[in-house]
């Protein structure tokens, strides 16, 4: 497993994206981000097969996707279903964040293929703690996989 250096964040709340980018940058030196406010835009970016147009083909898959469940026309559950059905993207780890931590939503996220799920933080300290947990877990997992 690689170091966590390339992150894709999908959230329709721009301030939430800003918090996550800031706190990931505090934790991981040299990480890069692709951020999207809609699931449709993120899927188009992941599946872009032509070098023509505004978005070139991704040089590499993201190391991890941070996915909000409450989005626009296509919600996080729908995005995750499409991602997991596609042979080219099913391997990408996805961490779901949501304000809805009902048993039904948690079960559905894991059944569809989420690797982890966090309740969307209500404070900056909550975001910092969530990001720290994600980075700590990833670094332990990557170190173990490399051994």
Asked if residue 51 lies in contact with residue 81, where contact means CB atoms within 8 angstroms, the answer is no
Distance from C-alpha of 87 to C-alpha of 33, rounded to nearest angstrom: 23
| Mean pLDDT, range 82-97, rounded to an integer | 92
Query: Residue 58: its pLDDT value, please?
Result: 53
Give the whole-number percent of the chain exceeding pLDDT 70. 84
- pLDDT tens-digit readout, 58-83: 567 888 999 999 998 999 999 999 99
Lowest mean pLDDT among 18-27, 99-108, 113-122, 138-147: 138-147
Domain ranges (residues) in the chain:
9-146
Of 3.40.50.2300, 3.30.70.270, 3.90.120.10, 3.20.20.70, which CATH number belongs to 9-146? 3.40.50.2300
- Residue 90, Cα to own-chain centre: how many angstroms? 13
| Mean pLDDT, range 43-68, rounded to an integer | 70
The CA angle 72-77-80, to the nearest 5 degrees, is 110
Confidence of residue 145 (pLDDT cuts 50, 70, 90): very low
Distance from C-alpha of 58 to C-alpha of 80, rounded to nearest angstrom: 19
**Residue 57 reports pLDDT greater than 70:** no
Secondary structure of the chain as H, E, C letters = CCCCCEEEEECCCHHHHHHHHHHHHHHCCCCEEEEECCHHHHHHHHHCCCCCCCCCCCCCCCCEEEEECCCCCCCHHHHHHHHHHCCCCCCCCEEEEECCCCHHHHHHHHHHCCCEEEECCCCHHHHHHHHHHHHHHHHHHHHHHHC
- pLDDT tens-digit readout, 17-32: 999 999 999 988 888 8
Distance from C-alpha of 62 to C-alpha of 44, rounded to nearest angstrom: 14
């Amino acid at each position: 497993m690689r170091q966590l250096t390339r992150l894709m964040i999908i959230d329709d709340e721009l301030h939430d994206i800003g918090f996550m980018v800031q706190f990931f940058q505090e934790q991981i030196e040299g990480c890069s981000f692709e951020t999207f406010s809609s699931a449709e835009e993120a899927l188009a970016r992941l599946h872009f097969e032509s070098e023509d147009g505004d978005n070139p083909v991704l040089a590499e898959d993201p190391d991890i996707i941070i996915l909000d469940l409450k989005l626009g026309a296509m919600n996080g559950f729908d995005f995750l279903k499409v991602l997991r059905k596609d042979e080219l993207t099913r391997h990408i780890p996805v961490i779901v964040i949501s304000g809805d931590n009902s048993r039904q939503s948690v079960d559905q996220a894991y059944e569809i293929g989420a690797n982890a799920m966090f309740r969307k933080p209500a404070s900056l300290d909550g975001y910092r703690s969530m990001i720290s947990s994600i980075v700590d877990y990833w670094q332990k997992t990557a170190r173990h996989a490399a051994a």
